[in-house]
Amino acid sequence: MIVVTGASGQLGRLVVQGLRAKLPADQIVAAARSTDKAAGLGVEVRHADYNDPATLATAFAGADKVLLVSSNEVGNRVAQHTAAVEAAKQAGVRHLIYTSAPKADDTALVLAPDHKATEEAIRASGLPYTFLRNGWYTENYQEKIEQAVRDGSFAGSAGDGRIASATRADYAEAAVAVLTTDGHEGKVYELSGDQTWTYADLADAIGAAAGRPVTYRNLTSDEHRAALVEAGLPAEVAGFVVALDGNTADGLLGETSGDLRRLIGRPTTPYAETVAEIVKSVG
């Protein structure tokens, strides 16, 4: 039996749907904090709250494999993930797959420390594991794309830094491949898109899809932070966004290992296709 955590979220839901296409429904469990949001997936739904270890033990009961989709609560993730790892071990899970971050154990990426600590906890547990070090989702830029359609421009501080993004569906398909085939124990996959692009390229793709020019305004980090705060973002959030753009400028999101393409058995989805879909949705 396979248990997918975070099944009410965007990635987890796609993974469950992908598993349904390959396995009988009674071999899949959707574990979610909100069971109502996971309803309709056509599989058993179990309550699983990273902040309530007792629910994790119940959710993982009888599982052979667990996909631990990382929490989105930055600052609380290490405790949450550690509780999940302990619950998986107590449940006798035979293979734990974790959605991590690019080069989590050797990078300055602002998001990496929580993932590095989680990977260390998983290794220390003795559980057979696979780390899916997911790169950036093209959909992460939806708000930026929508703003650019409205305003004809967007700003950032990423310079000419390149991004090797792929769609959420691409990453979900990779997780399904690992969950349904053998030989992945002990493996660390650096997952990213086949193409790399800059914010200037993104502006061109938005403009091509919208049928009018779109420009990217590159700011200094201080200018970017000030603009975000002026737009209403809390200072802490603005600092986080600027740090991510700094990571991008430093090339931390631009590596293409080919692991994602090999796992899913096809090229990753071109970023311009996703951009065009988002532009179309704006209307």
Residue 86 confidence (pLDDT) above 80: yes
Residue 200: pLDDT band with limits 50, 70, 90: very high
CATH of domain 2-134: 3.40.50.720
pLDDT, residue 92, reads 96
- Give the pLDDT of residue 215: 97
Q: Please determine, for residue 283, whether its predicted confidence score (pLDDT) is greater than 80.
A: no
d(Cα 224, Cα 97) in Å, to the nearest integer? 37
Distances (CA, A) of 283 to 153, 214, 236: 17, 16, 32
In the chain, what are the domain boundaries?
A: 2-134, 139-163+194-254+270-282
Q: How confident is the model at residue 73 (pLDDT cuts 50, 70, 90)?
A: confident
Q: For residue range 98-135, what is the model confidence (pLDDT) as tens digits?
A: 999 999 999 999 999 999 999 999 999 999 999 999 99
CA distance 89 to 69: 16
d(C-alpha 266, C-alpha 227), whole Å: 40
Q: What is the mean pLDDT of residues 253-257?
A: 95
Instruction: Say what percent of the chain tops pLDDT 70.
Output: 100
Q: Which two tokens stand for residue 233?
A: 């973002």
Residue-wise pLDDT tens digits, 3-33: 999 999 999 999 999 999 999 999 999 999 9
CATH class label, 139-163+194-254+270-282: alpha beta
Share of the chain above pLDDT 90, in %: 94
Phi, psi of 125, rounded to the nearest 5 degrees:
-70, -25
Q: What is the pLDDT of residue 46?
A: 97
Burial of 253 (0-12, 13-18, 19+ CB in 10 A): buried
Residue 77 has pLDDT above 80, yes or no: yes
